[in-house]
Amino acid sequence: MSDFCIETEGLTRVFGALVAVDRIEVRVPRGCFYGFLGPNGAGKSTTIKMLTGLLKPTAGRARILGLDLERDLLEIKRRIGVVPEGLHLFERLTGREFLTFVGRMYGMDRATVATRTNELIALMDLDEKQDALIVDYSHGMRKKIALSAALIHDPEIYFLDEPFEGVDAVASKQIRDVLQTLVRKRATVFLTSHILEIVERLCTHIGIIQKGRLVAQGSIEELRGGAGRGAAAPPGEAGAPTVPQTLEEVFLSFVQEQGVPEHRLSWLD
């Protein structure tokens, strides 16, 4: 069996004339913490939607946990947890009802679902709102209930689209701790985030997508050393002598290869 628990070949998604994801070859080692980075509109959410069966690829293939995405989608869905871009919550359920519904949907027995629901509600500090309808939750509370739903069945891979966006500092720390525990227990986390400080603290591996092309992939150390550049990188750039230190510098060095155009606001001059 492959050492990669997520592996894509030429994965592509086209919307009309736009190639949102362009023949990407993602390789995620089992048990790693993979940060999928890229500017707004680069194709991160589209990729996550394809890998989790929410959106059909236009071309290409993917294997998740050694299973074929197209042929074995149901089995894959049982073994992954997802926080998608749009959250997709049942607004007319309470938080507690929603978690109970999700747990039962995964075939878990009532007692286990009840125990895990209680623990997740406490962990996410949602006690006060557990019996309120989700439609009345704040943005951060919706994020926390969506994350709880992704955790409840103890999946092997977590696909999390911007899990920290809009979440307060206390919850963010708790979520980070939980995710690190999961990875220590050999689960794999695949997340997108624009908060590079958090990604730097958590992730062991990084993929950088820009305009639909995977421009870099590898362990953080490899990317710091200038390795891992994809086919889309300009020739002659591999192994560039300057060694970026922070993840932000690494990220910017990949997405701003062509130089940064200077934009100004005329009324501020």
Ligand X SMILES: Nc1ncnc2c1ncn2[C@@H]1O[C@H](COP(=O)(O)OP(=O)(O)OP(=O)(O)O)[C@@H](O)[C@H]1O
CB of 229 to ligand X, least distance (A): 19
Q: Which of 46, 52, 100, 188 binds ligand X (CB under 6 A)?
A: 46
What is the smallest separation between the CB atom of 95 and ligand X, expressed in angstroms? 25
Contact with ligand X (CB under 6 A) among 3, 9, 41, 86: 41
Rounded to a whole number of angstroms, the minimum distance from the CB of residue 45 to Mg ion is 3
For residues 9-37, b (16+ Cβ closer than 10 Å) or e, as one string? eebbbeeeeebbbbbbebbbbbbbbbbbb
Q: Is 45 in the site for ligand X (CB under 6 A)?
A: yes
- Helix extents (H) in 6-133: 44-51, 73-79, 95-105, 110-123
Distance CA(113)–CA(82), nearest Å, equals 18
Return the axis-axis angle of helices 110-123 and 139-151, rounded to nearest 10°.
Answer: 140
Q: Which does 15 bind (CB under 5 to 8 A by kind): Mg ion, ligand X, none?
A: ligand X
Nearer to ligand X, 45 or 100 (CB): 45
227 phi/psi in degrees, rounded to 5 = -85, 180
**219 contact partners, CB below 8 Å, separation of at least 6:** 204, 205, 206
For Mg ion, the closer CB: 99 or 199: 199
Residue 159 beta carbon to Mg ion: minimum distance, rounded to whole angstroms? 12
Q: The tokens 């891992």 sit on which residue?
A: 228
In the bound state with ligand X, the residue whose beta carbon lies nearer, of 95 and 163, is 163
Cβ atoms within 10 Å, residue 145 = 27
17 counts as binding ligand X under rule CB under 6 A: no
Binding residue for ligand X, selected from 43, 81, 155, 230, defined by CB under 6 A = 43
- Name the packing angle between helices 95-105 and 110-123 (round to 10°): 140
Q: Check residue 217 for interaction with ligand X (CB under 6 A).
A: no
If one asks whether residue 213 binds ligand X (CB under 6 A), the answer comes out as: no
Q: How many residues of this chain bind ligand X (CB under 6 A)? A: 11
Residues that bind Mg ion (CB under 5 A): 44-45
Contact 217, 228 (CB under 8 A): yes
Is 38 near ligand X (CB under 6 A)?
A: yes
**Residues in contact with ligand X by the rule CB under 6 A:** 15, 18, 20, 38, 40-46
